[in-house]
Amino acid sequence: MSEGKTRRPKAETPKGFRDYFGAEVTERKAMLDAIAGVYHRYGFDALETSAVETVEALGKFLPDVDRPNEGVFAWQDEDEAWMALRYDLTAPLARVAAQYRNDLPAPYRRYAMGPVWRNEKPGPGRFRQFYQCDADTVGAASVAADAEICAMLSDALEVVGIPRGDYVVKVNNRKVLNGVMEVAGLAGDDKAAERGIVLRAIDKIDRLGEAGVRALLGEGRKDESGDFTKGAGLGPGQAEVVMGFVSAKRESGAATVARLRELVGGSVLGAEGVDELETIASLLGAQGYGPDRIVIDPGVVRGLGYYTGPVFEAELTFEILDEKGRKRQFGSVAGGGRYDDLVKRFTGQAVPATGVSIGVDRLLAALRAKGRVAADSAGPVVVTVMDRDRMADYMAMVGDLRQAGIRAEVYLGNPKNFGNQLKYADKRASPVAVIQGSDEAARGVVVLKDLVLGAKIAASATLEEWKDRPAQIEVARKDLVSAVRKMLAQ
């Protein structure tokens, strides 16, 4: 293009962002609607905060720098104040809980669903805008609130189409782990670095196995490439205590609790954590949520810097094939736990809170893998245009179909080439094409083409099996709606 001409803008989605078309939108929406129905029944209220927050409220501003930290999309407003797009739904909840603390019910149960934005390097399957779906209870110190979240998570998974037996909600408690740390001699501020290494090691057990974790608890571990990761430097006795925790899960919840009680020994905090787990299990049991749905599992170690009490994670237990064709469990689709310091940033007062976040894209992928997506993504009936002067007739047909609740379109492109109209119907995944030339119009009939059956016949070696079901029928114009309905039902 020469310099003199006006440069045309590029038509492209910004790097790291994506667009969602048709069923990609409606399937996600159907899933979130079903989840919202469960949350609503549990008494949670919807909250939709502004997408924009002050950077100050988000906390993505270090006192000694003059620009927001990495991770958010930020700009300065007309008063030079920094604004940013929210990076999650929890930070806005903390702001709202502080801002409206005199007006909101206490405790405040809320759910939120919507996009969040991360200014991070995009990668395969990693986007800079994605959906989150959170439910939190703010202002309830009782672990009954945690138990309720676990029950609700279980209900939410079932309502979107994950059958009982194909998922498990695992519950653990940060206090138990801290108690175990005490017993292992890892309490106190001066041991924070070791505790961090221990936490990260436990978190890797699925990938590294017991031997790998033991190496990281001790001197360190050399991986396959020869790289060395420094360990926590625990002695054999200390490592034994930690490994005992990781493998404390027993056949029954009661047995797991008993084993954890042994492990936390004289730690007051640890004993409190075990009591809480026991209470959660008994509250859930009273509502009929047994270990077929929710289990105590000390193997769950997630986001531990953040959580202060119970933590939970929902895992899908059915197998899928990974990118290399190997069978593996689908894995985690949701997680959460108790946290206490978020509102304190604003008000100085600690407010107990607990919540869960469902991984929208992962759960949707699981539903697709199981063929469980619920939205009505069927293509429309396409009324073709044989005679452009009779557009009013075709629009009357499409009007009749729509009135009857049938998704339908009239072809609005240039009708000259009839082949293009059938190609269009194909692209629209249309189940039925309606055709009426002047001959059919004179006789008061329309032709219905069963495009689903047509595609099957085209893909099939023999016509034999379809011979009783014609791919094309002629019906009276007045029977259009009933005949289309019958064809759609086949």
Which of the residues 467 through 486 are near a second copy (CB under 8 A)?
none
- The token duo for 224 is 């396959």
Those residues with Cβ within 8 angstroms of residue 84's Cβ, 6 or more apart along the chain or in another chain: 52, 53, 54, 55, 58, 60, 68, 72, 73, 74, 75
Q: Is 406 in the site for a second copy (CB under 8 A)?
A: yes
- Tell me if 370 sits within 8 A of 316, measured CB to CB: no
The interface region with a second copy, picked from 48-56, 192-200, 267-275, 467-475 by CB under 8 A, is: 48-56
Q: What's the closest the beta carbon of residue 486 comes to a second copy, in angstroms?
A: 19
Give the count of residues interacting with a second copy (CB under 8 A).
100
Pairing of strands 294-296, 167-173: parallel
- The residues in 175-214 that bind a second copy, with binding defined as CB under 8 A, are none
424 contributes a contact to a second copy by CB under 8 A = yes
Among the residue ranges 24-32, 236-244, 318-326, 459-467, the one whose residues contact a second copy (CB under 8 A): 24-32
Q: What is the DSSP string of 369-385?
A: HTT---S--PPPEEE--
Binding test (CB under 8 A) with a second copy, winner from 31, 133, 135, 147: 147
117 or 307: CB nearest a second copy: 117
What are the angstrom distances between the C-alpha of 318 and each of 171, 300, 359?
19, 18, 17
Beta carbon nearer to a second copy, 39 or 167: 39
Choose, by CB under 8 A, the member of 283, 356, 422, 483 that binds a second copy.
Answer: 283
Looking at the Cβ atoms of 50 and 329, the one nearer to a second copy is 50
In single-letter form, the type of residue at position 483 comes to A
Token pair 């749905």 is at which residue? 293
Q: Quote the tokens at residue 469.
A: 């079901």
Between the CA of residue 316 and those of 125, 271, 366, 370, what are the distances in Å? 20, 30, 8, 11
Residues within window 119-138 making contact with a second copy, judged by CB under 8 A: 128-129, 137
Nearest approach, Cβ of residue 277 and a second copy (Å): 15
Answer for which of 2, 3, 4, 9 binds a second copy (CB under 8 A) is 9
Q: Smallest distance, Å, CB 133 to a second copy? A: 14
Answer for which of 71, 139, 218, 437 binds a second copy (CB under 8 A) is 139
User: Interface mask (CB under 8 A) for a second copy, residues 299-338, using x and -?
Assistant: ----------------------------------------
Closest distance between a second copy and the C-beta of residue 407, in Å?
5
* Residue from 35, 89, 140, 295 binding a second copy (CB under 8 A): 140
Enumerate the known binding-site residues for L-histidine: 88-90, 118, 132, 136, 302, 306-307
Out of 252, 282, 317, 438, name the contact with a second copy by CB under 8 A. 282
Q: How far is the CB of 102 from a second copy (least distance, A)?
A: 11
Of positions 428, 456, 477, 485, contacts a second copy by CB under 8 A: 428
Cis-peptide, bond into residue 236, ω within 30° of zero: no
**CA dihedral sign, ordered 203, 204, 206, 209:** negative
Instruction: Give, rounded to a whole angstrom, the gap between the first and last alpha carbons of the chain.
Output: 55
Helix (H) or strand (E) holding 338, with range, is strand 327-339
Is 418 a binder of a second copy (CB under 8 A)? no
- Single out the residue of 4, 226, 237, 288 in contact with a second copy (rule: CB under 8 A): 288
Q: Which residues contact 241 (CB under 8 A, 6 or more apart)?
A: 180, 183, 184, 263
Which amino acids are annotated as binding site, given as ranges?
Answer: 88-90, 118, 132, 136, 302, 306-307
CB 268 within 8 A of CB 262: no
Q: Tell me whether strands 432-435 and 381-383 are parallel, antiparallel or unpaired.
A: parallel
Q: 356 with 134: CB under 8 angstroms?
A: yes
| Sites for a second copy among residues 78-97 (CB under 8 A) | 83, 85, 95-96
